[in-house]
Amino acid sequence: MLVIPVIDIKDGKCLRLFHGHYETTNYYSDNPVTVARLFRKENFKCIHITDLDGAVQGEMKNYPIIREICKSVDIPVLLGGGIRDFETAKKIIEDLGVYRVVIGTGAIANPDMIKKIIDIYSPSKLAIGIDEKLNNVVTNGWINFANITPLKFARMMDDLGVKRVIYQDVTRVGNCSGAFTERLLEIANNTKNIKITSAGGIGNYPQLKMLADLNNPKIDSVMISKALYENKFPCQVIWRDIERIDTSLELPKVKK
């Protein structure tokens, strides 16, 4: 089970939403680049970045910061938020050199774009974000309902040749209540060629182990945010005590 740390950026700062509500947030750092470097020093194998302003407004708003992150770390970067057309996806892949673009709203509004990305860059350069609320996919930064179930959306993407989806129940985001394993298994067991990254809800090691113990080869990775920022895993205490000695790297502090 690959663990992927998440950096959510809004107004140039690193934060995490609670229950998918933009008015309820925890700000963790004024410098997302510092956070990315910290995750790299802790030996994570890749990083996921979301431009939350882009997710709501439909165009990327934190591009300069994201560019700096991509230049600052030597591990793959996954990037989503505001990618609604092929030209934006092309710019991100070719100019930033990201490992994979993550598209949610754009995949519903413009499925032909998804096919074009697959045809030109291969399925490995793309992941589809499936954000759910009450068995309905939500779009535009979790604001609007798309009137399609997560499973139906996953099957549509499967038919287009998509190989990876990132699934999360937005009501679990930030509350550390565990992954929605029933939905993860439903998608895994009813699609043909899709691998699944679980996102949202993991708050501690027992919840992470419960996800890994599903032993479903299609569910092979997990994204974690709040629990990492708030040192919910025992190994982090060792890592970050060491980092406090290194004055060259300022640790992010929780801002409520």
Active site residues: 8, 131
CB 3 within 8 A of CB 222: yes
Report which of 177, 176, 186 is spatially closest to residue 229, judged by C-alpha positions: 176
Tokens of 10: 């809004």
CB 239 within 8 A of CB 15: no
Beta bridge partners of 128: 103, 165
Distance (Å, rounded) from C-alpha 145 to C-alpha 90? 27
DSSP string, 167-208: EEEGGGTTT-----HHHHHHHHHT-SS-EEEEES---SHHHH
CB 74 within 8 A of CB 30: no
3-state secondary structure of 148: coil
